[in-house]
Amino acid sequence: MEQNPPYKIQRLFIFLFLACVVTSYAQDTQKEINEQVWRPFIKNFNENNTAGFMAVHSKDAVRSPRDQKAIWNWDEYNRQQGLSDADDAKENRKRILELRFTERFANGNLAFNVGIYKTTYVLRDGKTQHYFGRFHVVLRKENGIWKILVDTDSTEGLSIGEKDFLAATPLEE
């Protein structure tokens, strides 16, 4: 039995409407995560601000710098970040973190982001060093605010580079 054309048009309209709503929700969620997590994460990392940097993390955070074959809870992550921040400040090294994304999705109060980072160190003598790696982050909304729950990264045997970074999607402005 063939459906009449108005019914087909109605179904198409409903499908398009739902697609727009879902896409809009996903974009709004990513913007919210950018404002609540990624912008302060980058700013505080670049400023060696351990307290500000750790504020975007859940108190249940798990950090795994995979190249070091390590896994830390929030307290150890905070301690390690503080040591790194103090060392960079003492050595007068400026660092510039940039993030780009290859995969981002959310479902209610959980989100998953994968991407490529580029950290540029400007040394005391003005020379620069660039480091690249892939990160995987699980985020959780806690009391209406997005927080990093799991943060892991790796250079993947130094195989990640500028080409990978440029191929990924930049953080929206």
Report the number of distinct structural domains present in the chain: 1
Q: In angstroms, rounded to a whole number, what is the distance separating the alpha carbons of residues 118 and 127?
A: 16
Angle made by CA atoms 24, 111, 104, in degrees to the nearest 5: 65
Average pLDDT score over residue span 126-153:
98
Domain enclosing residue 78, as ranges: 5-170
Edge to edge, the sheet with strand 110-122 lists: 72-73, 57-65, 145-154, 128-142, 110-122, 94-107, 169-170
pTM: 0.83
Question: What's the mean pLDDT when you consider all of the chain?
Answer: 90
**Span 49-60, average pLDDT:** 98
Mean pLDDT of 27-51: 96
Band (pLDDT 50/70/90 cuts) for residue 13 is: very low
Rounded CA-CA distance 87/125 in Å is 16
Phi-psi region of 24 (alpha: psi -120 to 50; beta: other; left: phi over 0): alpha
Q: State mean pLDDT over 30-46.
A: 98
What is the domain-level CATH number for residue 37? 3.10.450.50
Please write the tens of the pLDDT for every residue from 75-95: 999 999 999 999 999 999 999
Query: Is the pLDDT at 1 greater than 70, yes or no?
Result: no
Using pLDDT thresholds of 50, 70 and 90, give the confidence band for residue 172: confident
Reply yes or no on whether the pLDDT at 64 is more than 90: yes
